[in-house]
């Protein structure tokens, strides 16, 4: 459970230092405070990084992720890292190779990408990093999921995949790579073998 920095006891702070998550908790609390103001519409000047972070957190919240869990904010860091890697993708062949390489990294829990986010930026262990993300995923609230948004990102029959590959999809959606911006109702056509002269001329 994510708490404000002041709410942690000395023992909890010592434990976080030992497992190397104290800075990650500090960053997560910063993001959580910003997000609270963001969803309330409070006026605040955000950097490009914070603006993108708020967009990603908004998407995660609408997908049922618990906003009081550290893992949600760690997952946000993964998604924004993928956004940075994808922002210059144009569809060229070389870009496709870059995307394949990125997908391979996202599927490897000990890849350089996760090392950069967990060890280099958040100064925490790789294993606690992944375990916290998994805890948030386990606590997704199905009743809080925006089904329209889920459909836009994952389609009507989403494939079972790891959260690294889903981070790729979430980053692509965040960057606006999907042409489908809203759910359109299906076009319902008449049966072709019913003669026009048998159709009712007025509605009931």
Predicted confidence (pLDDT) per residue in 129-169, tens digit:
999 999 999 999 999 999 999 999 988 777 788 999 999 99
Helical residues (DSSP H) of 20-177, grouped into ranges: 22-39, 48-62, 70-86, 93-106, 112-114, 126-138, 147-154, 163-174
Quote the pLDDT of residue 43: 76
Contacts of 95 (CB under 8 A, 6+ apart): 89
Six token digits for residue 162: 């790891």
For residue range 3-48, list pLDDT tens digits in order: 555 554 545 544 544 455 688 999 999 999 999 999 998 878 899 9
Quote the pLDDT of residue 179: 46
pLDDT at 116 over 50: yes
Quote the pLDDT of residue 118: 96
Least reliable range by pLDDT among 3-12, 77-86, 194-203: 3-12
Q: What is the pTM of this model?
A: 0.79
d(Cα 96, Cα 140) in Å, to the nearest integer? 32
């Amino acid at each position: 459970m994510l708490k404000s920095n002041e709410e942690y006891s000395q023992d909890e702070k010592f434990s976080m230092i030992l497992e190397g998550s104290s800075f990650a908790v500090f960053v997560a609390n910063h993001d959580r405070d910003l997000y609270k103001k963001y969803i309330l519409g409070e006026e605040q000047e955000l950097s490009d990084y914070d603006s993108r972070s708020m967009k990603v957190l908004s998407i995660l919240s609408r997908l049922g992720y618990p906003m009081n869990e550290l893992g949600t904010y760690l997952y946000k860091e993964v998604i924004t890292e993928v956004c940075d890697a994808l922002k210059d993708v144009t569809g060229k062949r070389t870009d496709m190779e870059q995307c394949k390489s990125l997908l391979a990294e996202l599927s490897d829990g000990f890849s350089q990408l996760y090392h950069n986010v967990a060890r280099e930026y958040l100064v925490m262990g790789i294993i606690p990093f992944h375990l916290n993300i998994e805890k948030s995923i386990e606590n997704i609230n199905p009743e809080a999921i925006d089904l329209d948004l889920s459909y836009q990102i994952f389609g009507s029959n989403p494939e079972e995949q790891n959260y690294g590959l889903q981070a790729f999809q979430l980053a692509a959606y965040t960057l606006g790579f999907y042409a489908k911006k809203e759910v359109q109702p299906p076009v319902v056509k008449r049966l072709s073998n019913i003669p026009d002269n048998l159709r009712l001329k007025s509605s009931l």
